[in-house]
Amino acid sequence: MVITPRTRTGGRVVHTVALVGIDGSGKTTQAHRLAGDLNALGVRASYRRNAGGRHWVGRIAVAVGKRDAEDLIGRRAMLVVESVLRWLAILRTWLRGLVARDVAVMDRYAVCQYASLRARGARPAAERRARLAYRLFPAPDVTILLAVTPQVAHDRIEARGYDSEDLDYLFAAAAAYRSLPEYPDFVVVDADGTPDQVAAAIRRELSLPGPTGVPTAQARP
């Protein structure tokens, strides 16, 4: 199976692939690489970022002397802002897809918001409201969970140097993804390795040819 906008996988036409996971799992790196790999194979694909704005609010917070985004506007307010901005980003992704008619490789998706709400201790009603709002958007055809050890993710975040994340939160976020009702449908990829190793694992799961052009093993049903 090679993904194209017209390829059927288990009876489904594949238009969208979403990469999800905790901060430091490599979502942005791998989404860019997958989009590039697909284009190199002659499959039109675009990278689409569905961020919630926490990083940018955090940068503003640091600039004005606050610790992070929640220290600037509060935990509940930041969760609301994050939910709204991610909703708008996903809406833009789907609207662009209607025009582009290519494979959308999405960096984050709605499940990232549900996991964030759970990991940050939001009330169940907050997740119910978020799910009601995000019902407008269909689930991606393939959702890849980059499963990374929280300590490895923490080390990566510290190494990149422009933000930080509490290790306890990373453990909570990893558990939150596993607790989601969508979890059984995720394609889980071990993301503890190097970017090349993780990219190769993603190609195997999608049955894409490797860098040498040799087809990889068939993807799991």
pLDDT (0 to 100) of residue 58: 61
Residue-wise DSSP of 99-160? HH-SEEEEES-HHHHHHHHHHTT--HHHHHHHHHHHTTSPPPSEEEEEE--HHHHHHHHHHH
Beta strand 8-9 with 12-13 is antiparallel
Q: What is the pLDDT of residues 101-120, one digit of tens each?
A: 899 999 999 999 999 999 99
* H or E element that contains 190: strand 187-190
Structure tokens at 128: 């119910």
Distance of alpha carbon 105 from alpha carbon 19, whole angstroms: 8
pLDDT of residue 13: 61
Domains of the chain plus CATH, in order, are 8-205 (3.40.50.300)
Whose structure tokens read 């939910």?
83
Give the closest residue to 60 by CA, choosing from 50, 49, 76, 73: 73
What pTM did the predictor assign? 0.84
Summarised one tens digit per residue, pLDDT across range 38-94 is 999 888 999 999 987 666 666 665 677 776 656 566 677 777 888 898 999 999 998
Tokens 């422009």, residue?
A: 162
